[in-house]
Amino acid sequence: MQITVICVGRIKEKFYKDAIGEYSKRLSRYCKLNVIEVADEMTPDGCSDVEKDRILTREAERITARLPESSHIITLEIRGKEYTSEALASYIEDLGISGVSHIVFIIGGSLGLHKSVTERADMHLSFSPMTFPHQLMRVILLEQIYRSYRIMHGEPYHK
């Protein structure tokens, strides 16, 4: 299985980079992982709805330009469907059984994702109704993907 994570923005803090590196290394025995960073737009304080839409549109263009053909697209959204770790593992496993060979997870920028991106998604996933920093969300996502593979292979994982 190939897993691609498309993220708006760059990781700046070393501790996030270290955690992402660790989970990327762990995942290498289960899947081919590719993390793609696309540039984020500066969001001025108090920007108008028109400006927000322009920012989201620019970020969406960068995201869609990097979407692989014939992939199963999962967007991370506050209003998405919440899964347990076991249910997410089952979902990923079922995709593989049904012939899906490439899953793309998309993490938006500080304003979220433009509707043109969310409308292309095959699934909308939420980890919580809370908002997390985008750098931390990348770590959480990679940990849950790793946990999913451990579950699928019947290997021990922290409960």
pLDDT at 159: 57
Rounded to 5 degrees, what are φ and ψ at 108?
A: -80, 180
Region 75-92: mean pLDDT is 96
* H or E element, residue 5: strand 2-8
- The CA distance from 138 to 41, in Å, is 18
Per-chain mean pLDDT for the chain? 95
Does residue 86 have a pLDDT over 70? yes
* H or E element, residue 38: strand 32-38
Rounded to 5 degrees, what are φ and ψ at 130?
A: -80, 160
The answer to whether the CB of 39 falls within 8 A of the CB of 58 is no
pLDDT, tens only, 38-76: 999 998 888 899 999 999 999 999 999 999 988 999 999
pLDDT, tens only, 110-159: 899 999 999 999 999 999 998 888 899 999 999 999 999 999 999 987 75
Rounded to 5 degrees, what are φ and ψ at 113?
A: -125, 145
Region 84-108: mean pLDDT is 97
Region 16-28: mean pLDDT is 97
What pTM was estimated for this model as a whole? 0.95
Region 19-25: mean pLDDT is 97
